[in-house]
Structure 1
């Protein structure tokens, strides 16, 4: 059976997140055990959500992401990092994810980065605190060579919460 994503690690991440959330809208960070997902760790990205005013800070970035992107933005705020024309959309997506508590799939060309020949597919998943508020976003990010045959299919699109 074909998965929902180009990279089967994203399917595995989504299944893991769903299993950990149970009947809640999302799991908490303490529900996750890195030992259970060691294969996924290199492509994971964890972002802190600060509520007032809402800001997003890069908490942890997997080694595969650092190698692919050629930079480590751990500790920096998302709005402080150069995303070019994609910045407004990226921030709006994170705000929606944090307030609506739902997963989001992003497919986009890396036009904001020097590796603009790559296409990124990302799964962005909310994590909640003990009060049910999103306090982190767990992301899996995968990169592939951009293919003109699917150029029209690489825009961000919401992923329904199952």
Structure 2
């Protein structure tokens, strides 16, 4: 990823099959989610016990899903999520965040895909911030439902730690979806997604 002139950055955002993930945190949340689900289509938000996944919490967000139109509200944002974003966006709507509109559309696309498929989705992403810091990570989105009919919440995780950077770089290079994204921040402020 190379920072371009004019505040633009090339970013790589794409889906991965579960088998290609290297993140122990994303894999651990998937295992926990599957255990909570049991024989149901999706687990309930009320099934989630933070004490059982304490080491994952800094990397987790809990989103509330609204439809017609699709909107996402962040109910909980882990400390590492807030630190990497340079913003605690707990309680905020995705469309209100100071992120570039193309990034917001990418994220809404992930939520639409999750709702359409009705199953967890996984991926790897890489962005460069305006200060030159490259943010590469693996992620997972896990559906929740209060009635086993509609997905009304999502537990997400982004793992910025302990990723096999060489393997992640190879996975990102294989992906054919390369996006150019203007930075959300200015010269003195990191852009974030």
2:64 to 43, 48, 51: 48
Contact 1:101 1:126 in 2 (8 A): yes
* Matched residue, 2:4: none
TM-score between both structures, scaled by the size of structure 2: 0.69
TM-fit CA distance, 1:131: 4.6
* Matched residue, 2:139: 122
Equivalent position SS for 1:53:
coil
Contact 1:48 1:136 in 2 (8 A): yes
Q: Map residues 8-19 of structure 1 onto 2, 5 A cutoff.
A: 8-19=24-35
Gaps of 5+ in 1: 157-162
Matched, 1:136 2:157: no
TM-fit CA distance, 1:84: 4.5
Matched, 1:85 2:102: yes
Give the CA RMSD over aligned residues.
2.5
Gaps of 5+ in 2: 1-18, 178-193
The structure-2 alpha-carbon separation of the partners of 1:89 and 1:38, relative to structure 1 and needing over 3 Å to count, comes to same
Moved over 6 A (4+): none
* Matched residue, 2:83: 67
Distance 1:154 1:139 in 2: 21
* Matched residue, 2:44: 28
Instruction: Give the structure, 1 or 2, with the largest relative contact order (CA under 8 Å, sep 6 or more).
Output: 2
Distance 2:68 2:80 in 1: 32
TM-fit CA distance, 1:87: 2.4
The structure-2 alpha-carbon separation of the partners of 1:143 and 1:95, relative to structure 1 and needing over 3 Å to count, comes to same
Distance 2:124 2:118 in 1: 19
Structure 1 or 2, whichever has the larger Rg, is: 2
Equivalent position SS for 1:95:
helix
Distance 2:127 2:52 in 1: 30
* Matched residue, 1:159: none
The total of aligned residue pairs comes to: 153
TM-score between both structures, scaled by the size of structure 1: 0.81
Matched, 1:104 2:121: yes
